[in-house]
Structure 1
Amino acid sequence: MKEELTMDDASATGVGPDRDDGMVYVMPDDLDLAIKVALAAGRPLLLRGKPGSGKSSMAPFVAKERNWRYYKFVVTSQTRARDLQWSFDGVRRLADAQGRGFRAPKLHEPDIYVEPGPLWWAFAPRAAAEHVRRSARARFPSAEGYVHPEEVRNKARDIGHSVVLIDEIDKADPDVPNGLLVPLASQDFTVAESGKRVTVEADPEAMPGRPFHQHLVVITTNEERELPQAFLRRCVIAELTPPSSVEQLVRIAEEHLKVRVGKNLSSADMELAEALACELETVRESARRQGVREPSTAEYLDALWACRELKIKVGEGQWDAVRKLTLVKPQHLRG
């Protein structure tokens, strides 16, 4: 089961082609408003859009811009709703019991083997950090190195508001969104193994009228599977549409180039970005006529990095080969 929980620091975020370090994102005005509405209403933001449109990159950018904590969870077909709240390590409990016998009675407490999930860290970061510390002390009472694990120090630092990304919810079983209805609406849940209730914590530095930690839950969907109506009703829903003009594409390329190569961009870089944007529009129009998938913004950036690195100009030399590798892929041709 592929699950991922990351913090907003350099060691935990990716800086590859699909960035999730929050360093660059061109925020559309309507999406910025949707974020503000979701926060004001206290609802999750369900972000629709085609693959490669930048849905997953938005959440870490918002976290970085606001200096909020960031947690990421990648949904798979094996994901359960509980995994977003907590997990229980039964295998570790069995191994500890077999290794220590009855000399450590605390090992029989199931709470020790409960690990906070991203929603727990978002709702109650202090309680989550203390839970992990207490569990570590119980399991390793004489091992000082386990009392305050590096993982806990990272997660507990700068405790405050947070952004949680639940990526590709449509890949999960339909029971998952239904199972998230109550915890997302009430902002609390009860851990089955221990009976512990987790509820949103008060913010000691909160502004009047906002006494609790704020958290933005961003849920992305490629709409590969229909989501339950009850789930949709409890979300603020926004759609991320692909850039519709050459100017928008060049702006996106410019921001990515600034992060990757520095703010002093050359005229050649901008000319390449514009030429590729024009080419992308041509390929997209052809795809629409054939009724096949249009190349995404991410694929446009792939072509940009490839041409820049290999010093290939649009329409010259190996351009046709690069075009087929990045923009006109086999699925486009077959329809």
Structure 2
Amino acid sequence: MTRFVSHGPDPRDGRIYVLSQELQLAIDVALATDRPLLLSGDPGSGKSSLAPFYAREKRLRYYEHVVTSRTQATDLLWTFDSVRRLGDAQVHRGRLNDGAYVDPGVLWWSLAPESARTRGGLLHDSHRHDPLNRFQHEHATRGSVVLIDEIDKADPDVPNSLLVPLGSQEFTITETGTTVRREPDVAAPLIIITTNGERQLPQAFLRRCVTYTLPGPTPEQLVEIARLHLEHDGVPFDNEMFELAVALADELVHVRENEQHGRERLPSTAEYLDALRACRELNVRPGYAQWPLVRSLTLAKSPQQER
């Protein structure tokens, strides 16, 4: 039996994505209006995978920031190492270069890469590389895609604090007084923001975004996703694999439509791919003795398992 050449369950490398016409239109509208694209949908539905895919397809620089409960709005713009500066001030005499203690965030790099390299002109090293561009060895264009992942995990003040820099595409570094503006030869970035709906976002923030909710997957979409992933892993999508992909797609749709009671969330594409990998590796099929347990472990998780 041919085995997977596994690239991990969530590689986030932008190599595989099934982009619908509706989602492409949502991207086009966001670019035309110069607004962030706010994506909502079930966990595991592919919200976070869109940004690296689009960046790779369009050969754009790619940045991402995963939001946590500790995230502050300035973390996406810059951070300042005040502790290191204080230590240096106690050791060295003379004036310190504050630019040496500034680290540009994803929005700074996307809007003004030359400014980010020189810390707003405070450093002379204009050849400093871009450490946050995940595709830096492949793409060196003047356009970019920024993923701000799971914005709903942050304090409500965070999205509100991003309104001005996202709208004006400029901001001022508090510690140095340096103003950062989008550089003239840099295209406006495509900013993709995701939310799982765990916390209601401020209305002022929603008003300034293009919003799109990813619909639940159809069986046809799931089978196509299975084909792409299997072929990427070096597994031929033969009749046996096609039948397995179809059977699992039907199972997932059945769970979503008929077993919603008591669930905090519905299974989505990520669970489908987990079931596909498990069945492929363990040689399990719907109807086998092991199938009910595999199904409950991947597709039909109990509420206790989902927490």
1:105-146 CA distance string (max 9 Å, x none): 343x32321110000001001111222996596xxxxxxxxx
> What amino acid is aligned across from residue 253 of structure 1 in structure 2?
A
2:197 aligned with 1:223: yes
Q: CA deviation at 1:290?
A: 5.1
Change (3 A) 1:31 1:322: same
1:228-280 CA distance string (max 9 Å, x none): 1111111111111121x322211121122222225x42221111111111111
Alignment of 1:127-276 (within 5 A): 127-131=115-119, 135=123, 148=128, 151=131, 158-203=140-185, 212-243=186-217, 245-261=218-234, 264-276=236-248
- 2:120/2:180 contact within 8 Å kept: no
Distance 1:194 1:331 in 2: 50
Instruction: Name the residue aligned to 2:272.
Output: 300
2:52 aligned with 1:60: yes
> What amino acid is aligned across from residue 258 of structure 1 in structure 2?
E
Change (3 A) 1:281 1:76: same
Give TM-score, length-normalised by structure 1: 0.82
2:65 aligned with 1:77: no
Distance 1:171 1:15 in 2: 28
> What amino acid is aligned across from residue 224 of structure 1 in structure 2?
E
Q: CA deviation at 1:194?
A: 0.7
- 1:294/1:332 contact within 8 Å kept: no
Distance 1:223 1:217 in 2: 18
Distance 1:72 1:188 in 2: 19
- 2:42/2:265 contact within 8 Å kept: no
Secondary structure, aligned partner of 1:238: strand
1:183-227 CA distance string (max 9 Å, x none): 000011111111111101122xxxxxxxx4231000001111111
Distance 2:130 2:184 in 1: 25
Change (3 A) 1:231 1:149: closer
- 2:39/2:212 contact within 8 Å kept: yes
Change (3 A) 1:155 1:254: closer
- 1:44/1:219 contact within 8 Å kept: yes
- How many residues in Structure 1 have an aligned counterpart in Structure 2? 299
Match of 2:35 among 33, 36, 43: 43
Distance 2:123 2:46 in 1: 38
Task: Name stretches of at least 5 consecutive residues in structure 1 with no aligned partner.
Answer: 1-13, 138-146, 204-211
Distance 1:332 1:26 in 2: 31
RMSD: 2.6
Secondary structure, aligned partner of 2:193: strand
- 1:183/1:189 contact within 8 Å kept: yes
- 2:262/2:303 contact within 8 Å kept: no
Q: Runs ≥4 in structure 1, deviation > 6 angstroms?
A: 332-335
Change (3 A) 1:180 1:15: farther
> What amino acid is aligned across from residue 215 of structure 1 in structure 2?
P
Tell me the percent identity: 53
Secondary structure, aligned partner of 1:73: strand
Change (3 A) 1:130 1:328: same
Q: CA deviation at 1:159?
A: 4.0
- 1:25/1:58 contact within 8 Å kept: yes
- 2:76/2:106 contact within 8 Å kept: yes
Change (3 A) 1:260 1:152: closer
> What amino acid is aligned across from residue 279 of structure 2 in structure 1?
C
More helix per residue: 1 or 2?
1
Q: CA deviation at 1:333?
A: 8.8
Give TM-score, length-normalised by structure 2: 0.89
Instruction: Name the residue aligned to 2:114.
Output: 126
Match of 1:95 among 51, 74, 87: 87
1:1-26 CA distance string (max 9 Å, x none): xxxxxxxxxxxxx9421231000001
- 2:159/2:202 contact within 8 Å kept: yes
Secondary structure, aligned partner of 1:288: coil
Distance 2:233 2:31 in 1: 31
Instruction: Name the residue aligned to 2:16.
Output: 24
